[in-house]
Structure 1
């Protein structure tokens, strides 16, 4: 792992990238298995939807709560406690079959049905990372953090069929096989706990805790959170599941073909994070966010007008090479423009609303696709994201991180 780190990064950075990868594997793994497991224990479709929604809301709520209180607690202890919660979550899902018990575990646990990283770990890890590398290498470190999360989550999703395959070989039922899978999620929590125990005292806060989670940066953090939520709201119209549905309805693409398209889109998006580092060094973080995002959203809108499947897919793949370059730049920027004590709160306040803002648009997008195969969701989503880009450039182009002087 040390060779993968940017110059000047400490051993704590390596440990945090390792734990990110371990958690990403678990998130990708259980995000695919969760609905199947809930169905296997006899829950109705409506109750499955309720449990999935509660896990999403619970993860977001815990991330926000930890972010707002993390400034007052030792960071290593906090990470170890949430690792124990991860263990308890896996064991709870493996042990219980009733709706109410599973709903409760989903609400207070660490499970991520989206496969992303809106989790209770996020505010603390993102707050610790900037202190483990020089300012000029901060964006490179966050790029590696994003790359590991995306790639390992994809591997976890690919491995989701292993428990059932093993169960078939040993004559176990589907439910029993999936229970063991959640036991594996708990085991990953144990591994994360052990790795966190190796973090050095250097990650701890120096001096007395501040009186509040956010100080002088409060107004700026709220403005950023509002802008990021606008971006996420637009993104909710074009989540992968809806793009798959659009390609199938408009062009008749099979599940196998669309799966291959979005596999390569994911690979391109993951590795684009490393390219974003070089761009940011030349033009700055805010301009990197905007000037890579604008053409990506233009390609999204253009895809809606493509007459053939190959041309639409080409637009979507070209978009994938650009659309996620803003992720490491965005995280690095937020962590740079607030004080170290404010970082946990800033991480949670700018990330949690994004996940919640993306929850409602799929309903409207699904209604649109039910009435027309034209890509209205792509046009609306792309237009909203372009609006976000222009507002971000207008409001924050002169607010620069330390390394940009």
Structure 2
């Protein structure tokens, strides 16, 4: 499986890519099934938004703890703990039906209602990957990491149709079929735990000793503040809420929504695959900004489109552009800090994103419940364009992109 890695990258990075693939598959179907599962339990649109907020807020606090204190423990032990937490999260959602117990599990667990990775795994995996490559090889490696996640999340979204097939073929109750998918989530967490046990003697042996933020503190905090605007906007249209919008606005079935997210995920994967090639020619920052702006124009237009066909076409166009900034953004952060600061930088740029994105799903759910179905999409697109312009203005003269 050496083909997974760009030239010049340590073999141990392959384990991280495989773990990311497994987690992304689980996240892909959970993001689509979560609103359907909560509605089947008797909850409303507002509760869907609140539980989405709880998952993102809990992830933010866990990521903050990793950034502030994670250097005290070996990274592979923290990854193993996160995998066990993933297993417990799946078991909790499969076994509980009341709102507040589910909210607690959502807060402390690893459930991800969004299209990107917002879990405690993220800074730990980023730091390990950054230690495994340098320069252009690092950008290519982060692109592989992001592409792997997007592709497997797309197939996960397609798997969201499994409960409907199970009901049709076996006669099992839909609620039981949905619970089974959360048991699968728990099983995937256990597999990730077994996989990450192999990391103890991998990248740790050659990685620089992690340290808290120091000389790069000001740059990291400025980036974190800007990233939080982007994340708050994205939280208004996390995949679970976008699925809810497709259900309510256009009457899509669960299986049809899963198919949409599958093809959207494939478009995202293709764009992320070419992101390093684009970044090599126009720079990491320009790639982040000038692919993001047209994507968000498409999102605004999708909210205003008169019919399903136009909405889906514009959302597909958005998917082909909106995530090209993910591998380039990660590579940019890793390039502008010193090697010992990378784990802390990954955490401190992820935490404001998670906190900001944790607030907005409740707002999006409230707007949906009030009947303002287009408002979350329009607000998301407008805020993201504002972020793009502010980021470009603040860092367009920054010299250090590829070290």
TM-score range, shorter chain: 0.7 to 0.9
Q: State the shift of 1:264 in Å.
A: 3.6
Q: 1:171/1:111 Cα in 2 relative to 1: closer, same or farther (>3 Å)?
A: same
Give the SS at the match of 2:321.
helix
Query: How far 1:285 moved relative to its partner?
Result: 0.8
**1:30 corresponding residue in structure 2:** 30
Compared CA separation, residues 280 and 59, structure 1 to 2 (3 A): same
Unaligned 5+ runs, structure 2: none
Hey, what's the Cα distance between the residues in 1 that align with 2:293 and 2:166? 46
1:386: which partner in 2?
385
Instruction: Provide the residue aligned with 1:338 in structure 2.
Output: 337
Say yes or no: does 1:71 pair with 2:71: yes
Structure 2 partner of 1:157? 157
For residues 83-111 of structure 1, the C-alpha deviation after alignment (integer angstroms, 9 at most, x for no partner) is 12222222333344455543333322222
Provide closer, same or farther for how the CA distance between residues 255 and 357 of structure 1 changes in structure 2, counting only shifts above 3 A. Answer: same
Residue 82 of structure 2 is matched in structure 1 by 82
In 2, the alpha carbon distance for the partners of 1:295 and 1:49 equals 27
Gaps of 5+ in 1: none
Residue 359 of structure 1 and its aligned partner are, at CA, apart by: 4.7
SS at structure 2 position matched to 1:323: coil
* Aligned residue number for residue 293 of structure 1: 292
The separation in 1 between residues aligned to 2:166 and 2:371, in whole angstroms, is 43
Aligned to 2:146: 146
Partner of 1:224: 223
* SS across alignment from 1:204: helix
Contact 2:49-2:364 within 8 A present in 1 as well: no
- 1:15 positional shift: 0.9
Determine the structure 1 residue equivalent to 2:119. Answer: 119
| Structure 1 Cα separation of the partners of residues 234 and 86 of structure 2 | 28
Of 248, 252, 255, 2:252 maps to 255
Say if 1:264 and 1:369 are closer, same or farther in 2 by CA, change over 3 A. Answer: farther
Alignment partners' CA distance in 2, 1:94 and 1:8 = 43
Over 3 Å counting, the alpha-carbon distance change for 1:12 and 1:267 in structure 2 is same
Q: Which is bigger in relative contact order (C-alpha 8 A, separation at least 6)?
A: 2
Task: Measure how far apart 1:172 and its partner are.
Answer: 4.8
Q: Residues 105-116 of structure 1: matches in 2 within 5 Å?
A: 105-114=105-114, 116=116
Q: How far did 1:258 drift?
A: 7.5
What is the TM-score normalised by the length of structure 2?
0.83
Residues 303 and 369 of structure 1, relative CA distance in 2, 3 Å threshold: farther
Matched, 1:204 2:201: no
Aligned CA distance change for structure 1 residues 349 and 205 (closer, same or farther; 3 Å): farther
Asked if the contact 2:208/2:339 (under 8 Å) is kept, the reply is: no
Tell me the matched-pair count: 399
Question: Which deviates more from structure 2 when the two are superposed, residues 296-305 or residues 392-401?
Answer: 296-305
Structure 1 residue 383: Cα displacement: 3.7
User: In structure 1, what is the equivalent of residue 266 of structure 2?
Assistant: 267
Aligned-partner Cα distance in 2 for 1:181–1:84: 17
For the aligned residue pairs, the C-alpha RMSD in angstroms reads 3.6
SS in 2 for 1:403: coil
Q: Give, in angstroms, the shift of residue 220 of structure 1.
A: 1.1
Deviates more, 1:44-53 or 1:90-99: 44-53
Select between 139-148 and 230-239 the one with higher mean Cα deviation. Answer: 230-239
* Conserved? CA contact 1:68–1:344, under 8 Å: no
CA distances 1:287-334 after superposition (whole Å, capped 9, x unpaired): 211222233344445667777876665554434322221111001111
Greater shift in the superposed pair: 200-209 or 389-398 = 200-209
Q: Is the deviation greater in 328-337 or in 349-358? A: 349-358
- Residue of structure 2 in register with 1:4 after alignment: 4
SS at match of 2:114: coil
